[in-house]
Structure 1
């Protein structure tokens, strides 16, 4: 109710708030008239597909595959994704007018949201991006007062916490050897920079 009343441009919050908003929106859609519900859900699915294709040719998709695709394969994927995005773009814009503008006015967030303090579920992340609200996820600790990394509007890669903030270095090291691990590996996070409290 407060979000709808004050209509903030931006909101800073923990993931639970976005999960709650997501669930509330889904309930409202589910309780609407059958035809309206069907149209809304179909348009949301189309927007999810549109954003997925758009992110592929923009190069902002998180990949867990350590093997880089060949140049030909990469170019083909980009061209194909661009074609898919172009075909879905009119329907995505239609969804903005018919569905998403109403959602924006209901939840009150008009531009972007910043999430931190926990793991943001991917389906929630994708949903808000699809309806036009960019959630910029971040990572930090109490001892790093409080953020050391955050996603940027120009490079909002879902499933990540973005790049280190200015003058901050982050590396993932092996728990036993202390050696720096390759991308995608699990290990201990080591942080160096102004946000780190003295004594650490």
Structure 2
């Protein structure tokens, strides 16, 4: 398994794609959300492997990557991506990030836009879901609620994520589709949890990026 050793931590990464005439194919980076690892992108890789060279990695504190000493913020998450690009001699790549991965993409677009092509920002925002900036007290409460998941039983975390993942339209629609969503969430959380370093989820939750700080 390939790793990139940095000054304070190591990053686990993986490269996928069709090796035939691969030099002519563009690079695509996948950046995972909290509580997951690089396998959350398995379905996307399976569908895109003929068109891209794909780089995915476990963000610090997740999967097989190590947990550097806290605190760290959005610039640290972004610089992890740049370190991977430099080490692998990738001059420019498309980027797809989910949740905090999308926040990472926003930072990269602002501070290293010349290294990116198209940027896909999925389920992410620099504001709350109603478009309002969060004040300091709201950010603190949001951080406390998120960090508390590291202390709760995994079953409670999975249950809460299942409720959030089932939209009203999903609950009123196909039961088969709901069962598919349930299986996906359970596999994602329980599967990635087996390899996640102790304290990694909590430490990432405590970062300013997870409190919607701009």
Question: Which structure's CA Rg is the greater one?
Answer: 1
| TM-score (normalizing by structure 1) | 0.26
